[in-house]
A and B are shown apart, each in its own frame.
Chain A
């Protein structure tokens, strides 16, 4: 019998808070610079718990206000009680503690009986948050859809009337190409704003001012039913602005649950988007190169990619995605291509670090790189940094372990040689007691971890022996598979975008408008003491088998 529901994979992830902890160390320390240093490996589990707490606090902060409170938090359950003479089966140990055996729960969905899945760890937290959808259906609700204001030059706004809002809720304002961010008089500084006038969803007529602080997408505080007029101030005439129910004009999402914490310590906002590579789609987390937003606004608004995940389907094939959304207050995204909906956990996983063992404790040459997270097809660059000029190697050798555990030696030009080769490279300046730092570029073509080892041979004059010191560096090309994937209903295939409204409903944009997608979570909780089962979804009847 088919089973509805599954558990998240709980991949071991790298917490961004761990870098915040290690940024308290001096900027030259290896523990700070290397994400796979022993120190960061040691503290990452603790940082993960701190990060969970941080995100729970963020959720709690949102829940203090009605307009931002999480609508998906549990508001009802369905309860099924056992007969008075029924009991759940259990095993009792010698101390008298009962270990209950979960019942089998079945429900009829669309005429077919399915077995449901117990909520992970049988607690209400997993029933409510961080659970995966178990099925999707076409709700058969759809609306024709137009942007309230399509992407329009500021100079032309006066000639456009706002369109009707068919799906009431928050509005998204996307501004592009603006370069003026403040107007100074001798007394005041004026910042660009957009004023939206109309009727909110609760029926009040208001004007909301939304400050525009950089080229990007901003969300209104109010939920809107109707917009009667728009007014902008202190924007370039050539800048373009769009106002939409779904932020389809956005270039990236502002991730309000995570922060980019670079090694240099300048924490900055994290933005996410889909990337397109020759092999398929990727998920990109990026941030402005500079932390100082005043400089960003002056025009230095490039973004650096913090990490890029190669997205695969369940069987490991690349996907070509059309669009994605963040499920609020979770680490999951919902992404669509022409025929499927995928649910991904987009936290950065922690790479396999087993093969970093064997690094010499007193290695005298550090290995460094500008980027340790790469994507297929990119060029990895690694360079040496000798930290002990009184002890120089007379020769070195570069060793590469690729994601398939194949081993190579590497030349200074990045070429790979079999391990049968004599790949030692002499230190040409050894006689002059000098060392020339080395820098190698090489291409990476597979996902997974690459371990680069620098073997340096030293001659110890006191003992008259050679000794080899090894330094290692890890490059990581992350890939992820979906936690779960679904075939889109036939009528909802080939969407051009996916959106989530202010009531947490999922919408797919098709050629004729927005279509609502119903999502179900077929899970149950068991209260063994009170002999009842709680279900998240509504069923006309449920069969409970306690076994025995």
Chain B
């Protein structure tokens, strides 16, 4: 806007030309309406193609209140993907059987535990335990973790072709190789193929312990005996059972596919995680206890107190 002097009068000349940098603005369309139903809003600047993939992810990787559901919810809110990091498999011996007696892989907040023999009754033999939480830990970076796993007797690991080798292992989504099946049906037959394979030894719980009384290591020869092919998920009985029979059991998933995400979730109920927030002291009794918060712990608690209303007194 300018003013020019014309004799003793002034006139205002309004501009008719402007140069601007346009600003991006989202436009509501069908995908946004579907997103409202799925509680997944479009991110600023997100186009239909990416938004569609994120919406479809809602069904594939549902959110929820448990660990993996929380990760899915948070990473989807931010538009982060879940990517394959690596795969763990069991090693086989020359007979085609597992090297491990009862293999299990468990990823904890601060370490990866490889069991050569794990039973639900608490019996466990650890093949290798690889710390991953702190810089300097043997498995802090993904390629180091994989290298460590490959030195174990019973397991081997392969990195995904698109994964970054120098990714922090704490970005891995914690999984365990074992799963639980409740009340799988035993057919009215001497031989039953269960829903799963790679059964965990010692985990089968039958509904009728009279029919399934004694486990044998080869074909059953008497009433009450049963044989379990743990590798193929097959149960053999001496005689056809009567009545409805069920079995609950654990089974392993191998090869175990491990994913990564930029979102990490820890809970203060997790002792393995809480330990990392405190300086560890060893008492005279030999017990390790949490002492004062360390630097990371201080930051975490400080942030928690900042965000949480704390009331003192009455």
Contact = CB atoms under 8 A, between A and B. Distances in A.
Do A and B bind? Answer: yes
Contact of B14 (A70, A75, A86, A542): A86
Contacts of B17: 543-546
Interface in A475-513: 503
A72 B31 CA distance: 11
A295 to B, nearest CB: 39
Contacts of B55: 66
B254 to A, nearest CB: 16
A113 to B, nearest CB: 11
Nearest to B45: A76
Interface stretch (A135-143, A144-152, A196-204, A317-325): A196-204
Contact of B29 (A67, A74, A540, A543): A74
Interface stretch (B18-26, B229-237, B282-290, B306-314): B18-26
Given A71-B52, A79-B25, A503-B49, A66 B18 contact: no
Interface string A73-90: 111111111110111010
A70 B30 contact: yes
A153 to B, nearest CB: 33
A108 to B, nearest CB: 10
Interface residues of B, number: 35
A63 to B, nearest CB: 4
Contacts of B60: 202-204
| Main secondary structure on A side of the interface with B | loop
B22 A80 contact: yes
A79 B48 contact: no
B168 to A, nearest CB: 22
A75 B26 contact: yes
Contacts of B45: 76
A538 interface: yes
Contacts of A79: 22-25
Contacts, number: 105
A202 B48 CA distance: 15
B187 interface: no
A77 to B, nearest CB: 5
B21 A544 contact: no
B66 interface: no
A506 to B, nearest CB: 14
A87 B14 contact: yes
Contacts of B135: none
Which of A63, A85, A203 counts the most B-chain CB atoms under 10 A from its CB?
Answer: A203
A76 B21 contact: no
Interface in A114-133: none
A389 interface: no
Contacts of A541: 19-21
A66 B31 contact: yes
B16 interface: yes
A78 B22 contact: yes
B49 A71 contact: yes
A69 interface: yes
B15 interface: yes
B30 A540 contact: no
Nearest to A504: B49
Interface in B2-42: 14-27, 29-31, 34, 42
Interface in B218-277: none
A82 B18 contact: yes
A202 B60 CA distance: 7
Given A75-B26, A202-B56, A543 B19 contact: yes
Contact of B18 (A71, A203, A544): A544
B48 A75 contact: yes
A266 interface: no
A541 B19 CA distance: 7
A545 B16 contact: yes
A539 interface: yes
B19 A85 contact: no
Contacts of A542: 19-22
B47 interface: yes
Interface string A434-474: 00000000000000000000000000000000000000000
A83 B18 contact: yes
A547 interface: yes
A454 B16 CA distance: 65
B57 interface: yes
Interface in A42-65: 63
B29 A75 contact: yes
Contacts of B21: 80, 540-542
Contacts of B31: 66, 69, 73, 75
Nearest to B38: A66
Given A66-B55, A76-B47, A81 B16 contact: no
B18 A86 contact: yes
Given A66-B31, A69-B31, A71-B48, A78 B25 contact: yes
A80 B61 CA distance: 39
Contacts of A540: 21
A76 B53 contact: no
A188 B18 CA distance: 73
B51 interface: yes
A535 interface: yes
Contact of A538 (B15, B24, B27, B56): B24
B19 to A, nearest CB: 5
Contacts of B217: none
B34 to A, nearest CB: 6
Contacts of A76: 24-27, 45, 47
B304 interface: no
Contact of A85 (B1, B47, B56, B57): B1
B72 to A, nearest CB: 12
A73 B23 CA distance: 19
A270 to B, nearest CB: 26
B201 to A, nearest CB: 28
A111 interface: no
A548 interface: yes
25 contacts: A66-B31, A66-B52, A67-B56, A69-B52, A70-B30, A72-B48, A75-B26, A75-B27, A75-B31, A75-B42, A75-B46, A76-B24, A76-B27, A80-B21, A83-B15, A201-B56, A202-B56, A202-B57, A204-B60, A542-B21, A543-B19, A544-B17, A544-B18, A546-B16, A547-B16
Interface of A: 63, 66-67, 69-83, 85-87, 89, 201-204, 503, 534-535, 538-548
Which 9 pairs across A and B sit closest by C-beta, in order of nearness? A78-B22, A63-B30, A202-B56, A80-B22, A80-B20, A75-B48, A503-B49, A73-B29, A71-B48
